[in-house]
Amino acid sequence: MIPMYSEDETCPICRKACMDKYGEHAIHCKELPGFKYRHDWVRDVLGDILRRAGISAKKEAPVNFLTDPMEGRSTLRPADLLVFGWAGGKHACVDLTGVSPLAGLRESGFVAGQAIRKAESKKVDKHAKACADNQHAFVPFAFDTFGSLAPEAIRLLTRVQKVVHSSCSSTGGQGFVFNRLGFAIQKGVAAQLVARLPAILM
């Protein structure tokens, strides 16, 4: 709750919300520059972590069955990451989503971890059945702008960390996976806040 900007004003991009002085809207407005950058940056870092651990994965992999049943139309999209042979020999579609932990605060009050668990559940509802029907595992990877991770994301990273441990004899590498991913999330958040600064300076 440190003031980032001099005063509140309407968001100049979406024009739907107050661009609050604490920067909260700046990090979850989907129309502002940096929103997609944060998602893609975290995806790229996760992909690099997998590569360094010797785990085979592909970014933006076309799987041709990921849809949103709630939209009632075809919304085929690639998997953010496709991890080969991840679950019982099945490939796993990893779908990333970043949320604000303060979203919906006025309606329900703040509960630690609530936003990411809700985001994780929504991803499962959207894609898990389609993946299972096509002999793929589905792994939702939800994180929030405070750096918290949903349970499935923690399970994935814990497993990757064990692989790193098995091939790294030094103690310095033990926090590599979680530390690097956490730094990537905060770098993405910083990019969104910086993208807002020119509007203030002009």
Structural contact between residues 77 and 61, judged by C-beta atoms closer than 8 angstroms: no
From its phi and psi, is residue 15 left (phi > 0), alpha (psi between -120 and 50) or beta? left
pLDDT for 10: 72
Confidence class for position 92, pLDDT limits 50, 70, 90: very high
Q: What single string gives the DSSP state of each residue in 12-33? A: TTT-SSEE-TTSTGGGT-TTST
Beta bridge partners of 87: 90
Residues spanned by the domain of 117: 37-192
Determine the pLDDT at residue 155: 95
Question: Quick check: is 77 in a domain?
Answer: yes
CATH number at residue 146: 3.40.1350
pLDDT higher than threshold 60 for residue 199: no
What confidence tier does 96 reach under pLDDT thresholds 50, 70, 90?
very high
33-51 pLDDT per residue, tens: 666 888 899 999 999 999 9
Note whether residue 3 is domain-resident: no
Q: Which residue has the higher pLDDT, 65 or 135?
A: 135
- Give residue 82's pLDDT: 95
pLDDT in the model for residue 32: 65
Cβ(158)–Cβ(166) under 8 Å? no
Mean pLDDT of all residues in 57-70: 78
Contacts of residue 157, defined as CB under 8 A and 6 or more positions apart, other chains included, come to 149, 177, 178, 181
Q: Is the pLDDT of residue 201 over 50?
A: no
The amino acid at residue 108 is S
| Residue 139 within any structural domain of the chain | yes
Beta strands in the chain (DSSP E): 9-10, 18-19, 57-66, 77-87, 90-99, 137-144
If DSSP codes are grouped into helix, strand and coil, which group holds residue 6? coil
Distance, CA of 51 to CA of 176 (rounded, Å): 13
What per-residue confidence (pLDDT) applies to 164? 86
Residue tagged 């932990």 (tokens): 101
Distance CA 109, CA 96 (A): 25
Q: Which amino acid is at 50?
A: L
Split into its structural domains, the chain has a count of 1
11 in any annotated domain = no
Q: What is the mean pLDDT of residues 24-40?
A: 74
Phi, psi for residue 99 in degrees, rounded to 5:
-130, 165
Write down the mean pLDDT value for the chain. Answer: 81
pLDDT at 1 over 70: no
pLDDT tens column, 138-174: 999 999 988 899 999 999 999 999 988 887 655 555 5
71 in any annotated domain: yes
